[in-house]
Structure 1
Amino acid sequence: MTNPRTVLHNVNIFDSINGKIEEDKTIVISKGKIDWVGEASSFEKEQNDTIMDLEGKYALPGLIDCHVHLELRSEHYTNPYQEWATTSPYFAGFRAIKSAEDHIRSGFTTVRDCGGDLWGQSLNRAIAGGLYRGPRVLAAQWPLQQVGSITYDLPMDLNVAFNWLDSQRVLGIAYPTGVDEMILAVRTRRMQGSSFIKVMNTGSVYGLILGSNIEDTFFSAEEMDALANEAHRNGMHVACHSHNDTGINEALDAGIDTIEHASYISEETSKRMAKTDSYLITTYLVGDARHSPEKMKENPGFVELMNEVAKATYENHRVAFEEGVKFALGSDSGPVNAPPGSSAKELVYIVENLGMSPAQALQCATINAARAIKLEDEIGFIEVGKVADIVVVGVNPLESLTSLQELENIEYVLKGGEIVSKRGILQ
């Protein structure tokens, strides 16, 4: 008896390698992988096939968001750093589950969580075991930060949280100092189930409230080299939060795999980065101050800084794109401006702010993203042998990227060949 197969018949496929629509195709799925792709007219039915006649709808590779924060949800706090520092890991894990559901409903079948508590391994186990619906989650868990990267005079609960983090430094959990502690930090994260390493080598925009300055750079060259070498030796890639040009160059010196934000990347650095295998992760959505709630706008200078950084980012990234830097989609979803499930908006921002075509933007969320996170052998492209992560939509996305923001247009989401969502309703 032949294996049961799921057949997506009469469908138009987005070819993420070449950035075009291939019409009148059929996709055959068996054992969670793509078993056959070809002309609809050439398809030969087998006895145990389940055929879905899609009547000319559009199939995309499962979308990928390379930068999310699942445990941050805007309905709780307006300041993500306050939210993070005053939340138990147990409650954070429950929020991560809800965010995971929001992402999979919107067609994002893989997300990379760039900093959270130690729930990453458990969340994937729960999703894989069928307890919850959610995307494939690559979780960094605790990000690596330098002691003194923020200064604070805070209420007691926040002081307790940060002082506890300081106390964990010697255990390799947070704030490593020196080459040996950096190596220990990587090994500790691997032991705790982290999929990759997240490091912050410059200040941050949201961190303004806690005394962070995006002009600051952190960690020595020796520390960054040790981190990258140890991570790669252990089969883990590295994502580096880096806003200023000095930090970006120091990350490139160390062979970092993805640069997050890169707001102030110079033309010279763009030319250099274009010659490497590193990817720039966009994160435009989170930086749009227009979406900030009124309470957040009460923080002195915050909105002004967001607007200043956003303007510089768009200008610098347009140059970087022209120079050939490789881009992949990341929304930085979780903080207030980018709620979980809104990652498709980043596609529109990429077109508007970089000058990419809709096809190029979709490549940022498919094949480029898969390459950036080292999963191009499994996902990112609809072809035989790939994992059957597929999103079926009713509107040609090259004609309307905004249609991907509406759940009723997300007809089916398949993860590993299984239908997990229909028009925003989890199955």
Structure 2
Amino acid sequence: MKIQSRFALTSVTVVDGLGREPRPHHAVVVEHGRITAVLPMSHYRPDADVHEIDLDGHFVMPGLIDAHVHLAGGRADMSDQELGVIAEPKLMRAMRSVHQAQKLLKRGFTTARDISWNGLYLKRLFHEQELPGPKVIACGPGLTRTGGHADLFQFTDLLTGRIVEVCADPPRDDHPPVPPGKCRQSVGPSEVFRGR
């Protein structure tokens, strides 16, 4: 949804972020992406060129900033971070990363600094304003030591679908439990993901 270049959020409670008491029954006027006025509803005058959005009962505050997120689109937990992310197709991770970013926006985060490949694309996607999302400050992929956290090159064989040896650690809902540290052969990422 594209919002018109001039709009007013009416009947809102304004929290200015400066420690003052919230100010109920206010209007916030925005023109071309910039707030041009914050005033009590008693001083607000409707204008035919300004699209009004009635938000009675809602709050308006400065956007929050999350300075460290990974919008990688994976479903991994702490026990299988790299494998849980790369074992899924890139397109699935890309779609999931859009949803992750939109969840941030719904929680009041209007800016996010992302460390992932997807952030480079999300930045452009949300800047075009075809989809709602936060402003993304994209760092690209993180730096790592060889074999360290985020060194996905150690999984090159897995990504190309060759037979590799994969260690299965804690059980997950989508594959049966495997004794800790036991290694098994797999023919590709889909088998690893299913736990076969």
TM-score tier (shorter): 0.5 to 0.7
Q: Does 1:95 align with 2:96?
A: yes
| Inter-CA distance 22–131: structure 2 relative to 1 (3 Å threshold) | closer
Distance 1:147 1:84 in 2: 18
The residue type paired with residue 57 of structure 1 is: H
| Inter-CA distance 56–130: structure 2 relative to 1 (3 Å threshold) | closer
The residue type paired with residue 92 of structure 1 is: R
Structure 2 residue runs without a partner (length 5+): 160-167, 181-196
Task: Work out which structure has the larger RCO, using CA pairs closer than 8 Å and 6 or more positions apart in sequence.
Answer: 1
| Inter-CA distance 145–43: structure 2 relative to 1 (3 Å threshold) | same
Query: After superposition, where does 1:218-237 map in structure 2 within 5 Å?
Result: none
Show structure 1 runs of 4+ deviating over 6 A: 75-78, 296-300
State whether residues 9 and 54 of structure 1, in contact with CA within 8 Å, keep that contact through their aligned partners in structure 2. yes
For 1:161, the equivalent position in structure 2 comes to 156
The residue type paired with residue 126 of structure 2 is: I
State whether residues 14 and 22 of structure 1, in contact with CA within 8 Å, keep that contact through their aligned partners in structure 2. yes
| Inter-CA distance 146–87: structure 2 relative to 1 (3 Å threshold) | same
Q: Which structure: greater helix fraction?
A: 1
Q: Which structure: greater strand fraction?
A: 2
Q: Report deviation, 1:63.
A: 3.0
CA RMSD, 1 decimal:
4.0
For 2:6, the equivalent position in structure 1 comes to 5
Q: Report deviation, 1:13.
A: 0.7
Distance 1:91 1:76 in 2: 17
| Inter-CA distance 42–89: structure 2 relative to 1 (3 Å threshold) | same
CA distances 1:234-264 after superposition (whole Å, capped 9, x unpaired):
xxxxxxxxxxxxxxxxxxxxxxxxxxxxxxx
For 1:116, the equivalent position in structure 2 comes to 116
Structure 1 residue runs without a partner (length 5+): 165-208, 211-292, 301-427
- Determine helix, strand or coil for the equivalent of 2:83: helix
CA distances 1:2-54 after superposition (whole Å, capped 9, x unpaired):
x9631122221112122541233221111111011122222223232222333
State whether residues 9 and 40 of structure 1, in contact with CA within 8 Å, keep that contact through their aligned partners in structure 2. yes
TM-score, normalised with respect to structure 2: 0.63
CA distances 1:192-235 after superposition (whole Å, capped 9, x unpaired):
xxxxxxxxxxxxxxxxx99xxxxxxxxxxxxxxxxxxxxxxxxx
| Inter-CA distance 56–72: structure 2 relative to 1 (3 Å threshold) | closer
TM-score, normalised with respect to structure 1: 0.32
For 2:142, the equivalent position in structure 1 comes to 143
Rg larger for: 2
The residue type paired with residue 101 of structure 2 is: A
| Inter-CA distance 4–64: structure 2 relative to 1 (3 Å threshold) | closer
State whether residues 86 and 161 of structure 1, in contact with CA within 8 Å, keep that contact through their aligned partners in structure 2. no
